Amino acid sequence: MLILLPAMALYPVSSIGASMLQVHDNFAIPAFAPVLFNAAILAGAALSYATGIGVSAGVYILAFAVFSGVVSWAGFIWLARPRSGRALIALVQRAKDKITFKRIVGDTAGISKMFLSYSAVLAATQCVQFVERMLASRMGAGSIAGLNYAWRLSQFPVWVFASAVTMITYPVMSKLKGAENLPELKEAFKKSLRTVLVVVAPLAAFIYVFRVPLVSVLFMHGAFDENSVAITADVLRGYSAAITGQSISAVCTRYFMATGCIRPVLAATGASGVINIAFNMLFAERLGAAAIGYGSAAGSVVNAVLMALVLQGKLKLFDRAELSRMVRFVSACAIYIAILFPINWFRGFLPHNDKFMLQAAYLFVSLLLGAAVYFHSLKKLKLCFANTLR
């Protein structure tokens, strides 16, 4: 704890520096900096494994690795682009004559309002996860571990692709809102939503169809046996259905934050959280661990639909052209999913010797084949990837 406590102060310092760089249209450094953090942790884990030291000493090595990673993260952000830091200082110096006590109070009140509202959103999300894990703890051995593994795997498309898009578009939308350029703001939001859907929706379908071989290849080692695979795959069935809704909600949330209107996010998160928890409570005994995944899927759909309805009233997103594009996109996804099921069915005829390498190779080939069919379908329906950004 004493080793990690100083790192807590560096997290907000890193976030402030990353936000500053994004305002200056520099997204490469904030995107690469977390790689240093994770690399340091991996190096610490590899060192502990290679030296074969005990758990008590290994904990200290990992703690130092985390601290080193946070220092590298913050240092890279603040030192890699010194011109941005000088630009910020110059901006403050130019604006210091215009800064008044009344303005400081007003800005602080606005930030505090946004902070408290978004904290409530995060608290609601944590309450849902707490209930999920409480229910999993009553479902027998391996349920909590299966829940955590399934959650991590299902969040890969959200954290990697949806978060990457929103990290870039959030400062852009904030600038457009500040300039009162509403047509460009609407277009920026639509571009980010299309891009996320084109990438995340097929990945969600792939994870759903190939959930069993995915879990086997990634986690079936040591104490993680076939029973653990079955539990994790059951939960992942529902969690994978929640991926698209969560990604849509992530894009919509960034729009509401950029425009300073967080109440719809809070209302949608609260309503979806109630639906999620109610589904879990009602069906946990009947469906077992799978109910937790289905509850998450139901909650994510409610969250995304509520936010979309609010945005439809504000921006009139779904005109005739947009609806036509959406129908073609859904058709391309349907063709893609129709191809995935027979590919997964054919896997049952493969020999079971050298199971790990065979399944890994089959997953890779299936991903490439599915991607080829998907993008060919988009092209034939005159909805190629480039057109989603227009």
pTM of the predicted protein model = 0.80
Three-state SS at 306: helix
Query: Each residue of 151-165: b (16+ CB within 10 Å) or e?
Result: bebbbebbeebbbeb
In the chain, the number of structural domains is 3
Instruction: Please provide the size of the chain in residues.
Output: 390
Dihedral angle at the C-alpha atoms of 159, 162, 168, 169, nearest 10 degrees?
-140
Q: Are residues 53 and 67 in the same domain?
A: yes
Question: 224, 253 in Cβ contact below 8 A?
Answer: no
Dihedrals phi, psi of 248, to nearest 5 degrees: -60, -45
Radius of gyration from C-alpha coordinates of the chain: 23
The whole domain housing 376 covers 318-390
Three-state SS at 3: coil
Q: Are residues 89 and 122 in the same domain?
A: no
Query: Each residue of 67-88: b (16+ CB within 10 Å) or e?
Result: bbbbbbbbbbbbebbeebeeeb
Name the DSSP letter for residue 382: T
Tally the C-alpha atoms within 13 A of residue 336's C-alpha that lie toward its C-beta: 33
User: What letter represents residue 108's amino acid?
Assistant: T
Per residue of the chain (390 residues), what is the pLDDT tens digit? 666 777 777 777 777 777 777 766 677 777 777 788 888 888 888 887 777 776 677 777 888 888 888 888 888 877 765 555 555 555 555 555 555 555 555 556 666 777 777 788 888 888 888 888 888 888 777 788 888 888 888 988 888 888 888 888 888 888 888 788 888 888 889 888 888 999 999 999 999 999 988 888 888 776 777 888 888 888 898 899 999 999 999 999 999 988 888 888 889 999 999 999 998 888 888 888 888 888 999 999 999 999 989 988 887 877 777 788 888 898 989 999 999 999 888 877 766 555 677 778 888 999 999 999 998 888 888 775 544 444
Work out the burial of residue 319: count CB atoms within 10 Å of its CB; fewer than 13 is exposed, 13-18 middle, 19 or more buried.
exposed
Dihedrals phi, psi of 316, to nearest 5 degrees: 55, 60
Q: Which residue in this structure is represented by tokens 């030296």? A: 51
Work out the burial of residue 214: count CB atoms within 10 Å of its CB; fewer than 13 is exposed, 13-18 middle, 19 or more buried.
buried
Q: Are residues 157 and 297 in the same domain?
A: yes
Q: Are residues 309 and 339 in the same domain?
A: no
Q: Are residues 133 and 224 in the same domain?
A: yes
Q: Are residues 312 and 322 in the same domain?
A: no
- Distance, CA of 32 to CA of 27 (rounded, Å): 9
- Distance, CA of 228 to CA of 221 (rounded, Å): 10
Q: Are residues 74 and 45 in the same domain?
A: yes
CA–chain centroid gap for 132, Å, is 19
Question: 250, 163 in Cβ contact below 8 A?
Answer: yes
| Domain end point (choices 99, 133, 153) | 99
| Domain end point (choices 293, 316, 339) | 316
Q: Are residues 312 and 326 in the same domain?
A: no
| Domain end point (choices 316, 349, 382) | 316
Name the DSSP letter for residue 151: H
Pull the structure tokens for residue 312.
């439809």
